[in-house]
Structure 1
Amino acid sequence: MIRPRASLRAACAIAAGLVASVSLAALGGMAAATAAPAPVSAPASPLTPFVDCVQDAPLGAVTARTVVLGYRSTADAAVELPAGGGRNDLSSAPADRGQPTAFLPGEHHGAWLLTVDAAAEPSLGWQLDGATVAIDGDAPSCTTATSVAVSAPATAAAGSTVPVSAAVTRALLAAPGDGTVEFSLDGRVVARVPVTAGTARADIPAPAAGAHTIAAAYAPADGSALRPASASARLTVVPAAGPLAIAADSVVGGSTSARVIVSRTSSAGAATVEFATTDGTARSGADYVRTVGTVALADGQTQAMVIVPLAVRKPGAPASTFFVVLRRASTDVSTAVAAVSLPAVPVARPPAPAAAAIGGGGGSLSAAAAGPSSALPEGDPTAAAPSAVGASQDLFWIVVAALLTGGGIAGVLGLLRAAGGRRGDL
């Protein structure tokens, strides 16, 4: 029997190892594929129900219990939950009892008023998207319970002033007319305002850019049986936008529109502003088209253009001006008015009449030629100088004229006598 060589034995060992590795990997993959997936926790519900107050009223042998309920939503948009669908039910009772089905972001008091038989349904519960609140007699009485609703803008620019208000109410009775409301920003009290007819208002400085919380806490007057209450609202502060300015481009003759530019020095944050045209010496309809609108500058945008159509103006219309005005801006305005200047419209002149011809026969003479003998001005340096021949001829005639005058006459008579003497000799 022939023994295999050492190299052959080594190759076989390596091949066996590879086969074993592949087999183990396949078995591991099958085990992973058949293993149960890891449990995934359900996201927490953004909705929380609460009881504002309870009021019992005996009606003979029956005690009618009136319950005022509300909810709090941390969602960014409205949440729809149908009544009796398993996520918006009443326990130990018919699931649909007229509860709200649309839940808006924020905190909402007095969203639902429910009346039950206190003896027949002593321990109801409102189940809202996994959270449950007990409806029983342990809640505050509606004669003393209060609630607060905060009203504030959702966004504001850093460094600006934020107007906020708080409405203090009672579920079944009139709003309180006394007490105070403390407004706080991120837990720090920034204003304390007395309540007048259930309302308190304040202007608070906007903090640095970012997400913030405005809270309002109602404190009843000393000796009052009313209970305190509080509420909050979210505020997003954006970087301050540069002040807005408006300027008009020049308008040339024949233009059909005027361009007006709304700009700012800083592009940080968003800004909006309304604009409107107004008459000056130019009139809407006759010189331009009345235009109104809103300019919105997005974050990172420094300018936007407004186009104002121009009317067809009559020949001879004088230069005139109208204005474009900014109003209701979301930020500061450095220049609120732009003047648009319209040029005068020239009057169309008739063409010059053709030159009339005079004369007849074989030639013609223009009206211009029928005037002065020369079209050149007197003493025109471009006129031709007199020639030398003409000058010598003039001198000859001057000498002849001189001979014919004075002594020249005697010479003529002498010539005549000489001619007579020759005739006598003959």
Structure 2
Amino acid sequence: MTPHASLRLACALGAALIAVALAGVPAFASPTPTPTPTPTAASDALTPLVDCVQDAPLGAVTSRTVVLGYRSSASAPVTLTPGSGVDDLSPGAADRGQPSTFQPGEHHGAWLLTVDAAAEPSLTWTLGGRTATIDASAPACTDATAIVLSAPATASGTVAVSASVTRFLLGPPEAGTVAFAVDGVASATAPVGVGGVARADLTALAAGAHTITATFTPASGSTLRPATATAPVTITAASGALAVAADSVVTGSTSVTVHVTRTGASTPATVDFATVDGTAHAGPDYVAASGTLALAAGQATATTTVSLPARAPGSPASVFFVVLQRATADVSGAVAMVSLPAVPVAAPASVVAGGTGGGGAASAASALPQGDPTAHTPVVSAPVGQDLLLLLGAGLITIGGIAGVIGLVRSTRSRDGLL
């Protein structure tokens, strides 16, 4: 060995010893094998699906296109690392571009895989704790179908569902039927129309959790294969219809209470309300109000109040309205009328007796000014003795006057006779 070669070897050994010393592990220790990941509860919710395969001879090579999907019973997305032992293909490369995030529900055509059918006649896709075999026994993509079932997660009363029937490498079929069942009991059948879509309304579903199943049946003579899909739905008891009413208003009321009621109160409901002018106007007759009333599950009544200002004397009877809008439940009575009574004119206070003369003096409580000629002047009674003297005086004056008149007549006649 040359001196230069010996020097290089010594340097390499020294560098290795320094690295070992810094790492704190024995020199030339064998690496610890990486443990194989074990399926978790989330990954156990996954099932791999082989939707179809399609072989295409290309000279000496047969190209195989594989369409794959999955089903997840988890309530949230599940994320796995391809090639980590829980999302692998075998034999050969474990990571071949398969999905890493899996959404809840059933998903077809999630990814495509192309292989050499002669070199890899059979493959296995491991997803969580389940496997699917990819080989020539899978349905041909020209005949395989799949259904995407759309249904609301929760509903009350009628449930509107639709099923979209597809083929993986060709256009959707536009013939055949889709049968809808609830918990395995047939409910409705609809024809497949344009775009491969069938629709139906499912009625009379009892409150609680149910499973809806859609099954595609190809048209007679077709080479297409049937397909099935499921979806969960929870039926809630319908809320009773909402109605609005208002309390009576009496003279002097400063507010009126408005009630929104319903007969069935099993589910929550909300409704907007607003006041609307009638012959009464917001401002002088009532304070405009609006808002949202919420009724919790089991609550049958919700209330609000509308303020009533003091109205001017002489204001006539009038009405305004409270209306319901944008309700989350049926509405049987959307308008309540509030009747405001007439306000009487203020009555004048009693007048205290004043002095003599043409105008009596009004008291401080009188509605009329002092000395008002239109004010009522009561007659002032005099003592009884004084009344008697006045009566006798008047009589004497009257008798004297008559005697004087008689004397005057006689004197005139006597004078005429002398003439």
For residues 124-178 of structure 1, the C-alpha deviation after alignment (integer angstroms, 9 at most, x for no partner) is 3222111111222221111100001211222233xx2222211111112111000
Match of 1:369 among 371, 381, 405: 371
Q: Distance in 1 between matches of 2:391 and 2:304?
A: 84
Letter in 2 for 1:209: A
Q: CA deviation at 1:56?
A: 2.1
Matched ranges for 1:265-284 at <5 A = 265-268=263-266, 270-272=267-269, 275=272, 281=278
Matched ranges for 1:183-202 at <5 A = 183-197=180-194, 198-202=196-200
Q: CA deviation at 1:196?
A: 0.6
The 8 Å contact of residues 250 and 341 in structure 2, kept in 1 or not, is answered as no
Q: 1:95 to 1:281 in 2, by over 3 A?
A: farther
Which residue of the partner structure matches residue 181 of structure 1?
178
Q: 1:401 to 1:111 in 2, by over 3 A?
A: closer
Q: 1:84 to 1:368 in 2, by over 3 A?
A: same
The 8 Å contact of residues 154 and 236 in structure 1, kept in 2 or not, is answered as yes
Q: CA deviation at 1:254?
A: 12
Q: 2:221 aligns to what SS in structure 1?
A: coil
Q: 1:376 to 1:325 in 2, by over 3 A?
A: same
TM-score, scaled to structure 2? 0.65
Moved more, 103-112 or 82-91: 82-91
Q: 1:391 aligns to what SS in structure 2?
A: helix
The 8 Å contact of residues 206 and 237 in structure 1, kept in 2 or not, is answered as no
Which residue of the partner structure matches residue 99 of structure 1?
98
Q: Distance in 2 between matches of 1:142 and 1:285?
A: 70
Q: 1:98 to 1:325 in 2, by over 3 A?
A: farther
**Amino-acid identity (%):** 49
Q: 1:392 aligns to what SS in structure 2?
A: helix
Q: CA deviation at 1:386?
A: 4.3
The 8 Å contact of residues 87 and 130 in structure 1, kept in 2 or not, is answered as yes
Q: 2:140 aligns to what SS in structure 1?
A: coil
Q: 1:202 aligns to what SS in structure 2?
A: strand
Q: CA deviation at 1:408?
A: 12
Which residue of the partner structure matches residue 72 of structure 2?
73
Q: 1:401 to 1:339 in 2, by over 3 A?
A: closer
Q: 1:52 aligns to what SS in structure 2?
A: strand
Q: 1:86 aligns to what SS in structure 2?
A: coil
Q: CA deviation at 1:282?
A: 8.5
In structure 2, list runs of 5 or more residues that go unmatched.
1-38, 347-360, 363-367, 408-419
Letter in 2 for 1:81: L
Which residue of the partner structure matches residue 163 of structure 2?
166
Q: Does 1:58 align with 2:60?
A: no
Which residue of the partner structure matches residue 113 of structure 2?
114
Q: Distance in 2 between matches of 1:116 and 1:296?
A: 60
Q: Distance in 2 between matches of 1:262 and 1:318?
A: 25
The 8 Å contact of residues 169 and 176 in structure 1, kept in 2 or not, is answered as yes
The 8 Å contact of residues 147 and 168 in structure 1, kept in 2 or not, is answered as yes
Aligned residue-pair number = 341
In structure 1, list runs of 5 or more residues that go unmatched.
1-40, 350-363, 410-426
Q: 2:388 aligns to what SS in structure 1?
A: helix
Q: 1:225 aligns to what SS in structure 2?
A: coil
The 8 Å contact of residues 165 and 201 in structure 1, kept in 2 or not, is answered as yes
Q: 2:392 aligns to what SS in structure 1?
A: helix
Q: CA deviation at 1:304?
A: 3.9
Which residue of the partner structure matches residue 211 of structure 1?
209
Q: 1:275 to 1:96 in 2, by over 3 A?
A: farther
The 8 Å contact of residues 175 and 219 in structure 2, kept in 1 or not, is answered as yes
Q: Distance in 1 between matches of 2:336 and 2:71?
A: 52
Q: 1:370 to 1:144 in 2, by over 3 A?
A: closer
The 8 Å contact of residues 282 and 322 in structure 1, kept in 2 or not, is answered as no
TM-score, scaled to structure 1? 0.64
The 8 Å contact of residues 249 and 340 in structure 1, kept in 2 or not, is answered as no
The 8 Å contact of residues 247 and 261 in structure 1, kept in 2 or not, is answered as yes
Q: 1:278 to 1:57 in 2, by over 3 A?
A: farther
Q: 1:72 aligns to what SS in structure 2?
A: strand
Q: 1:239 to 1:92 in 2, by over 3 A?
A: same
Q: CA deviation at 1:100?
A: 2.6
Q: Does 1:221 align with 2:219?
A: yes
Q: Distance in 1 between matches of 2:244 and 2:253?
A: 20
Q: CA deviation at 1:71?
A: 1.3
Moved more, 214-223 or 273-282: 273-282
Q: 1:398 to 1:344 in 2, by over 3 A?
A: closer
Which residue of the partner structure matches residue 139 of structure 2?
140
